[in-house]
Amino acid sequence: PAHPSSNPHSTPAPSFALCRLHPASRCLRTMVKKARFRNADRDPWPSERDKANGPFIDFVLRELWASHADEATAGLLSTEESAMARELSVDLKAYLAAKQAVTRERLSWKINQAVLKFRRSQGLTENVPNGYLLQKMKQVYSFYSAARNLRSQVSLYMFQRTVHLSIAAKEARKGIENTYTRRKRLQEFWPQFHNCGMADLPSAARRSQGQPSKGRTASTVDLPALDAERARSSSSGPSRSPLKSTSKSDLQWKTRSSRSHCSAGSWNWLADSQDSQLASRLSTPATGRHRSQSLSTVGSREEDVPLFFEGPQATKSSSAANEACGLRSYIKHKGGIFPKLIAESPPSKMMSKSSLPSLKPNDSNGWLESLSVPDEGGPLMSKGKFNRPWKDIAGSQALKVSKVSTQQYLMTCRSEGILPSTDAFVTGHSDRLKAKSKAMSDKSLNAISGMMSAGPCQVQEIDLEGNRSISEEAFLTLLRFLADDGKKDQSPPENRLKRLSLKSCPGAAQDRPLAELVSLLSSPCLTNLQSLDLGYMPISVKWHLPLSKAIRNHGCLKTLSLADTGLGVRTSGEEEDLTMLCIVEILSSDSIEELDLSWNCFGSSGFNFLGQKLVEQGILKKLELAHCSAISSKGVWISPMVHLFEHISHNQSLQHLNIAGNHLDFRGAMVLEDALEFNSRLKEVDISNNGLGILGLRSLMRLLSRGSSGLEFFNFENCSKGAIMDGRTDIQIFRASRPHGRYTLDLSRPYHRTLLRMLYKTADRLKLPFDQAFRDLTASPPYSHPSKSAAGIYEVPHEGQLAITFAMEKALEDLTIGTHNCRPDFSAVLNCHFDLLRIRPAQSKLIAMLAEWKRNEGLRDEQAAMIDALSKDFSLGYAHIANMCQSRTQTWDIVASLQCCMQQGVDLERYLCGLLIPNVPDYVRMLRRAGNLFSFNPDNPTGRYKLDLSNPVDYNVAEKLIILDNWESTMRLRDGQIDISQVGNNSHARNVQHAGFPLPCDLTDWIPLEFDVLELDYSSTKRPPPDAMPLDEETFEIMVAAIQEASKRPAIDRLQALNLVSDKFYLSCLQLRQLLGLFKDAAFRQEIFILFFNRLADIQNEKIVRVRFDTDEEMTAILQRLGFGGPFPFMQPEQCHFSMQLKNYDERLAVSLLLKLANKEKISNLKNPKFTHADGTEDPLPL
């Protein structure tokens, strides 16, 4: 902080000055420690040279110090204007707005200092207490600590949720085969693949006769030429010829195609060789043909040799062949990394009869007998083994268990000419058939069915989802096998089929497969079935009821999917009784916990019946109803799903609800909020792809923040855009921040019943008796207040017409007057109203709400909707706003919109929120966005307002004006004062228009819509107390001098500065007349008169001010805005000109007052009266 001055009675600085830190001072804890040792008698305020006159000026100076510290220290950038000119040189409007803010803050600062000095001299304001700066610094530190702790809690919450989802995903992946397991399984499967079905005769028969198979089979492959070459090299000594260098052609055997040939059993290494000379060597002398593509065997016995090389050149050719395939040079080149598996084979076992490796069917001594190359250091590779993909790593000779069912499957694939599958179920390593989206054909499914019928085969899961090519006959074969197998199977029920998925299989939706399936479900064959997925199958109507009955009678089924199966509405929007019967049968099951009915079509009757059965069943945990709402005949935006929501309030079993894409608007969201407010079981709701808009998001955010609700997560993607309502619509809206208003309800509509229940719950929270909260009640038939059920839900009637006015003045009056023991000022009224109705989220729900904000990071529309919703119903502080600013680039938008979530007078938190903005241009954007809020003076609200209700800040100002209007009207009625409003409704708002049209009702009963522009003149009737003292001449001269210093600035800047401090002092009529002389424009003189009219301490002398206006039209314009009742010149009505519209109540009242005065004195005092009828004709006025 700046060095304190020596004046112990200097005026207090605003909160922003108390928190101004040097850029180097980042640790507030150190500041607090240092401040404790300061002299308590010294002034804690900055010196005059270092004072920041307002939050924006302070921000600019901070940016100046941060970016140009050296220049600023040298005095090169000593003014805020130079810094703003540098930062805002591109945007002229932003620069003008910044200069306006600087002028406003400087002028209001100077006037405020002079006024505070005057009030201290009169004993109206206490001096600053000792330790005030230390107290403020502690508050700043507490705010920063709270923000840091909240950030940690939100991060921990999101981490815990991520871990939870990861564990759930890991559990779901337990059945997924990993690479190692798949490799081991295929090593066991490949011998069957090669030994079964690839020969004309069974392999077992050939082995029994001692004959090799004709097909490609697994056998030992020897490379004796390498051993022979090593023996010759070792005998010749060190002077051996060098080996041929490795080239690309030497590594032909490593190519992908060669490996594929290996896996199929053909060692065709030289198929792509370009060496014609080597190719000619490797051809047979008799025919010259290549034999590598049809290799069979090269064995150790004499009769097995001449398959590949024939004639006396076989030994000579072996060396060339080995060199051609690249083995010798490759092994020599990689000798350092080849393992030495076993000891060197003796020379006696080195074979010279064959050259290239071959397949030998009856070899039992291993695949590669020996592999060695000459080297000085001993054998490079004593034994080299090339493991076929189907050969066990440990060197097992055959498959551990030869499954008959797998052999049958391979034989069927051979006979049908189809490619065998390597699925774990087919290879015999799993009891789960997972063929999702495998494009299976009838032959493939028949082969699997035959495989299961060939031997004992326990199947626990069959997943055929997405196989659209399978026909009715193939499914019928499979289902019949399941029926036959179930009759024969003597295994325990827990080993039988548990999951069956025929999703998106139209072949299974035909009559015969469905008949077989219904029979299976009703028989003991599928007694252990726990999951059945028949989604997206066009099931015929005649099978709906039999299938539903079979599902009901199945006592073990827990998960059922009937998505897009044709349930629901059939023709002309009328629901068939068949749908009701199906819902009864399905939800009468005692075991189903997860139900998917998405993409079916239900109307209001269907949803109503579904809700009733949900309450009766009471065990369903997960319900999927995405895209199920039929379009109602009442309008596209009225979703029949709201009939279901009313019943969910009585259900205590649901934990997950999916209602995406059901034409829900803000009314559906309101019904859902009412239904789930006291539901502690439901954790997640998916409401995406619905046109909720801002109003619907407000309902969801309120629901998420309620401590009585168990909701922790909701998905609202593509919900930010809602229905566009006309300004003259009759749709009624519930506002949690101000529910006061007149409601006309049709109790046969779920939304209107919800509105009534929300009003009753609001009365409960405010502790208002029903006879005081609900006024002017008219109903047909007669209506009585409902009672609560055991679940705490108001049981309102479902028919009848009701019109009521909800009033909460009693609660507000008890709180404000009870707290202050007197009639408080307007700021205290707004703060009490804020405390009563603004929602403060519970700590656990606050973390969930901020986590929801972070989850939507990057979704601009969704986050903008959340900001709008929070700004209207919630009470937030610096810690909450600071956490939100971390996950969005447009920080200024968050700070501007959420300014209205803080109480009046919390300047310290507002200032700290401003410091979250990263740069001056963004700060200026924030000022422009929240301009009406910063210029609003709640203790002197009289003035002209033009508010864009789509802007959350302007909407908040409109709500404050409505609250003050209602409060003043209540106090006037309580004090017995007469009505001087424009239309005779005790309202202080005049000339009210929304979207260019007059309001259809009183402003206090009107529910502000969130679009278009609201224009009004507010004329407060709050007057100075009898002992009010105007400013003394010295203070007034300081104020006038400050205004004159800013005369070069636009008049609107000076007017805004005066508005901000107008509640701090009173003026005399003579001072107001002098103040008017500082403004040249007549429009601004009118504004000054209206601003300070209610601050005149000697209202009896107001004629002194009237004569300052040159024309009668100026005074008439002022009276049109202030009203004709309050400013009526009772003391000195002489020389006053009146022009009045008798359609207005207050102007008729003014005419009546004039006539009474004229009757008391003499009628001739009314000079030149003139009356014009509405049709334009002039009345002669015979008196």
pLDDT tens, 996-1022? 888 888 888 787 777 889 999 999 988
Alpha carbon distance 116, 12 (integer Å): 8
pLDDT tens, 865-901? 889 889 988 999 999 999 999 876 778 999 999 988 8
Beta bridge partners of 713: 684
For the packed helices 55-67 and 920-929, what is the interaxial angle rounded to 10 degrees? 170
Give the model's confidence band at 91: pLDDT under 50 very low, under 70 low, under 90 confident, else very high: low
What DSSP element (H or E) covers 25?
none
pLDDT tens, 765-813? 888 889 888 988 999 889 999 988 887 888 899 999 999 989 888 888 7
List C-alpha distances in Å: 150 to 147, 776, 851, 907, 910.
5, 46, 11, 22, 19
The backbone region for 560, taken as left when phi is positive above 0, alpha when psi lies in -120 to 50, beta otherwise, is beta
Is 80 exceeded by the pLDDT of residue 712?
A: yes
Alpha carbon distance 305, 309 (integer Å): 7
Phi/psi for 916 (5° steps) reads -75, -20
pLDDT tens, 475-513? 998 888 888 776 666 566 666 789 999 999 999 999 999
Give the model's confidence band at 936: pLDDT under 50 very low, under 70 low, under 90 confident, else very high: very high
Alpha carbon distance 305, 371 (integer Å): 19
pLDDT tens, 622-659? 999 999 988 765 544 578 899 999 898 888 899 999 99
Predicted pLDDT of residue 488: 64
Is 50 exceeded by the pLDDT of residue 197?
A: no
What DSSP element (H or E) covers 1070?
helix 1069-1076
Calculate mean pLDDT across residues 2-7.
34
Alpha carbon distance 703, 734 (integer Å): 14
Query: Using an 8 Å Cβ cutoff, are 310 and 296 in contact?
Result: no
Calculate mean pLDDT across residues 710-734.
75
Measure the CA angle with vertex 959, ends 958 and 965; round to 5°: 90
Query: Using an 8 Å Cβ cutoff, are 630 and 573 in contact?
Result: yes
The residue count of the chain comes to 1183
Predicted pLDDT of residue 1041: 92
Is 60 exceeded by the pLDDT of residue 110?
A: yes
Predicted pLDDT of residue 126: 65
| Residues 6+ away with beta carbon under 8 Å from 211 | none
Predicted pLDDT of residue 522: 84
Query: Using an 8 Å Cβ cutoff, are 103 and 1054 in contact?
Result: yes
Is 50 exceeded by the pLDDT of residue 433?
A: yes
Predicted pLDDT of residue 3: 33
Predicted pLDDT of residue 85: 59
Query: Using an 8 Å Cβ cutoff, are 271 and 292 in contact?
Result: yes
Predicted pLDDT of residue 134: 86
Alpha carbon distance 660, 469 (integer Å): 30
Report the candidate in 1060, 1064, 1011 with the shortest Cα–Cα distance to residue 1036. Answer: 1064
Give the DSSP letter string of 178-209. -HHHHHHHHHHHHHHHHHSSSSSS-HHHHHHH
Predicted pLDDT of residue 490: 58
Rounded mean pLDDT of the chain?
75
Beta bridge partners of 805: 742, 775
List C-alpha distances in Å: 351 to 223, 224, 333, 361, 855.
8, 5, 24, 18, 70
Predicted pLDDT of residue 942: 93
For the packed helices 907-914 and 878-885, what is the interaxial angle rounded to 10 degrees? 10
Predicted pLDDT of residue 369: 40
How many Cβ atoms from other residues are within 10 Å of residue 468's Cβ? 11
pLDDT tens, 1094-1147? 999 998 888 888 888 888 888 889 999 999 888 888 888 888 888 888 889 999
pLDDT tens, 570-619? 544 445 678 888 888 998 888 999 999 999 988 888 898 899 989 888 89
For the packed helices 952-975 and 809-820, what is the interaxial angle rounded to 10 degrees? 80
Predicted pLDDT of residue 84: 57
Alpha carbon distance 570, 179 (integer Å): 49
Give the DSSP letter string of 228-279. HHHHHHHHH-S-PPPPPPP-TGGGGGGSHHHHHHHHHT---TTTT---HHHH
Is 70 exceeded by the pLDDT of residue 526?
A: yes
Strands 1171-1172 and 1013-1018: unpaired
Query: Using an 8 Å Cβ cutoff, are 703 and 672 in contact?
Result: yes
